């Protein structure tokens, strides 16, 4: 059985719409990293995949900023995470 990529595609499409709405056409996408939880008979695993051009220090920075944004969203602080 292959993995269904529908959920990832939906999240990415929603992210792109939010980014375009927030920043308009004068910006470009920089570094990218995906974090996915995979559920199965083995339990839960996490997969992380940086973009092709992300250097290790850039990846760590993205992860730390993402943690800050996620925690702000959890605590009800608007952090502009889109």
pLDDT tier at 77, thresholds 50, 70, 90: low
Strand ranges for 16-77 from DSSP E = 33-40, 43-50
Which pLDDT value is given to residue 17?
Answer: 95
> Mind listing the pLDDT tens digit for each residue in 40-62?
999 999 999 998 888 888 899 99
More confident residue, 73 or 48: 48
Other C-beta atoms closer than 10 Å to the C-beta of 49 total 12
Which pLDDT value is given to residue 5?
Answer: 92
Sequence ranges of the domains in the chain: 6-74
Q: Give the pTM.
A: 0.72
């Amino acid at each position: 059985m292959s993995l269904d990529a529908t959920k990832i595609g939906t999240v990415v499409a929603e992210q792109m719409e939010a980014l375009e709405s927030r920043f308009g056409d004068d910006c470009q996408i920089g570094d990218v990293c995906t974090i996915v939880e995979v559920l199965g008979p083995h339990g839960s695993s996490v997969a992380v995949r940086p973009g092709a051009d992300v250097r290790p220090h850039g990846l760590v920075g993205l992860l730390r900023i993402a943690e800050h944004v996620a925690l702000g969203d959890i605590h009800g602080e608007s952090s502009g995470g889109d």
